[in-house]
Structure 1
């Protein structure tokens, strides 16, 4: 099952902790805010969310996977 990570821009401070801890899944844009790769497994997405110190990330299941169309 695939999932995506959504950033709550009102909470994100752009410190880059998520990218420093999980560079294989998160990069930073030119302003220092996270860009999370697409196509993460649910487990990978949860790992990314758990490293955020300000709780600015959340997991959303991929709509195609959630409806049974993969």
Structure 2
């Protein structure tokens, strides 16, 4: 889920999503309720996964991402 920023509407972004068969959901403009969901997901992942947890390597951190994403209804 992203907002409607130009980086999230680019051709390259679409190609990456398509390559990984990821469905892109956009928030409605001027809707803080749904924008807040996306922001909260990013905040939680940064705090608990990217920065808050200790991993032996970047590869180990990346392999643990799926477990973290499983906590959210994505």
TM-score range, shorter chain: under 0.3
Scaled by the length of structure 2, what TM-score is found?
0.24
- Normalized per residue, the structure richer in helix is 2
- Normalized per residue, the structure richer in strand is 1
Higher RCO (C-alpha 8 Å, min separation 6): 1
Structure exhibiting the larger radius of gyration computed from Cα positions: 2
